Amino acid sequence: MSGICDRSRGPRIHSPRGQGKAATGRWRHDLDPCDTESVGDDVRSDLSDEEFVAGIPKVELHVHLEGTIEPLSLFRIAERNGIELPYDSPEGVVAFQAERRAPGNESLVNFLECLDISRGALRTGADYHTITVDFLARCRDEGVRYVEMMVDPQQAIRQGVPLGDCVEAITQGRADGLTNHGVRSQLIMCFQRDHPAAEAEALLEQADAHRDSIVGIGLDNYETPGFPALFAATYELARRREYRLTSHCDVNQPDSIRHIRACIEDLGVERIDHGLNTATDPSLVDLVLERGIALTACPTFYHGQQGAAESRLDMYRSLLDAGTMISLNTDDPAQFGSGWLTNTISEAMAAARFSRSDLVRFMHNAIDSAWTDEHHRRDLTSELLTFCNR
Ligand SMILES: [Zn+2]
């Protein structure tokens, strides 16, 4: 019992929409008066660091379904689809990926090469069902209570899986994951930035038939010239159809600052996937705070290369301390070799010396920026506080 709950603080001020502006200037949802901001670094002193990270109830907002395919599942799916993999065995998958992310080799291109081999094996709706259920079983083991998963339907369509088959299979997989593993989830449909914007717009039209199964849209894959302005019309259409809006802005890309600002101001996103370079521009930090933009960061590049990642770790600290809604996520957990969320968090905490109270703030940020209903968000917050107070 760590005595973190100070009920004398009283409830937050809240607006007619049920949200309140915290002292940091950011918009927070109307949560319990007993808030996680009063959590100290001595929280759950009965637990080791390992037990604390393993046990804390988790929410994940940035993970690509195609990046969750584990080697055994990859071989099973490839075999049933008659696809030859460039690996001899599941162990060969691990070795190949490790070589591609070894110091000096790590790059978005090498990463996407590994990802393309794995996601290239997906040829039927059943494959998408398999990877969804497998992923949600993994979430249960990691203590993830709620996850927002991304999928690239353009990739599926190029491999012969129509949008409807892909979305319906994932939706069934999500239902099975809730029933069998107790993990709630939602689906974000991502468009690929290195493919024509007209494809994205056409897909958005097609997605009308599956509107209830898709909570929001995003942009991923390579950050190419013309991003994000090329997608303004698609985002305007999505806004009219009441999708939630996010977009990747990868770390240290050409024009990172301009891209983040344009995604917020021109596309109207509520969330940036990655977006760490925000930390390098005070006026952008102000914009992110003012608009309550969430940053779904992924400390996966730290695996085995902590030294090279120091500047990124400084960005995490800076954004957390500035009061932005930055959270910790895995991105493509089966591809980066980062392990899953528990391991990713453990490595980030060790590398950046995040404290337990920092981790609770990251988790609270994830809950706050989750695209779920207020009742569910309160339940998630309550569970986090109960864990801290136990
Ligand atoms: Zn991503």
pLDDT higher than threshold 90 for residue 182:
yes
- Asked whether the beta carbons of 341 and 60 are under 8 A apart, the reply is yes
**Residue 222 Cα, ligand 1 centroid: separation in angstroms?**
10
**How many angstroms separate the alpha carbon of residue 33 from the centre of ligand 1?**
33
Using the mean position of ligand 1's atoms as its centre, give its distance from the Cα of residue 172 in Å: 23
What is the 40 CA–ligand 1 centroid distance (Å)?
31
Place of tokens 């799916």: 77
Ligand 1 centroid to Cα of residue 331, in Å, is 5
pLDDT digit string (tens) for 122-149? 999 999 999 999 999 999 999 999 999 9
Q: What pLDDT was estimated at residue 16?
A: 28
The HSE-up count of residue 327 (CA atoms within 13 Å, CB side) is: 27
- In the chain the domains, ranked by start, together with CATH numbers, are 49-389 (3.20.20.140)
State phi, psi for 312 to the nearest 5 degrees.
-70, -40
Rounded to the nearest angstrom, the distance between the alpha carbon of 103 and the centre of ligand 1 is 21
Answer whether residue 330 shows pLDDT above 80. Answer: yes
Beta bridge partners of 147: 60, 185
> How far, rounded to the nearest angstrom, does the alpha carbon of residue 288 sit from its chain's CA centroid?
18
**Which residues have CB under 8 Å from 48's CB, separation 6+?**
none
pLDDT at 97: 83
Ligand 1 midpoint to CA 147 (Å)? 14
| 275 CA distance to ligand 1 middle (Å) | 11
Mean pLDDT across the chain, nearest whole number?
88
CA of 200 to the centre of ligand 1 (A): 17
Q: How many CB atoms lie within 10 A of CB 59?
A: 28
> Lowest mean pLDDT: which of 61-65, 90-94, 299-303, 310-314?
299-303
Write down the pTM of the prediction.
0.90
Distance 113 CA to ligand 1 centre (A): 15
Q: CA 335, CA 71: separation in Å to the nearest integer?
A: 10
What separation in Å is there between the alpha carbon of 250 and the centre of ligand 1?
8
Per-residue pLDDT tens digits for 269-311: 999 999 999 999 999 999 999 999 999 999 876 444 444 467 7
Please give the Cα distance from 72 to 56 (Å, whole number): 28
What distance in angstroms lies between residue 297's CA and the mean position of ligand 1's atoms? Answer: 9
Residue 20 CA to ligand 1 centre (angstroms): 29
Distance 375 CA to ligand 1 centre (A): 27
Question: What is the largest distance, in Å, between two alpha-carbon atoms of the chain?
Answer: 64
Compute, in angstroms, the gap from residue 63 CA to the centroid of ligand 1.
6
* Residues in the 5 Å CB sphere of ion ligand 1: 331
Ligand 1 centre to CA of 150 (Å) is: 8
Q: What separation in Å is there between the alpha carbon of 9 and the centre of ligand 1?
A: 37
CA of 61 to the centre of ligand 1 (A): 10
Q: What spacing in Å lies between the alpha carbon of 45 and ligand 1's midpoint?
A: 34
Q: What angle do CA 248, 249, 250 make, to 5 degrees?
A: 105
* For the chain, percent of residues with pLDDT exceeding 90: 73
Higher pLDDT, 59 or 9: 59
Task: Report CA(220)–ligand 1 centroid distance (Å).
Answer: 6
Give the Å distance between the CA of 226 and the centre of ligand 1. 19
* CA 200/CA 219 separation, integer angstroms: 9
CA 372 – ligand 1 centroid, Å? 20
Q: What is the 67 CA–ligand 1 centroid distance (Å)?
A: 9
Question: What tokens does 122 get?
Answer: 């997906």
- Strand 27-29 and strand 19-21: the pairing is antiparallel
**What is the whole-number distance in angstroms between the Cα of residue 273 and the centre of ligand 1?**
6
Taking only the tens place, the pLDDT of each residue in 198-229 is 999 999 999 999 999 999 999 999 899 999 99
54 C-alpha to center of ligand 1: Å? Answer: 23
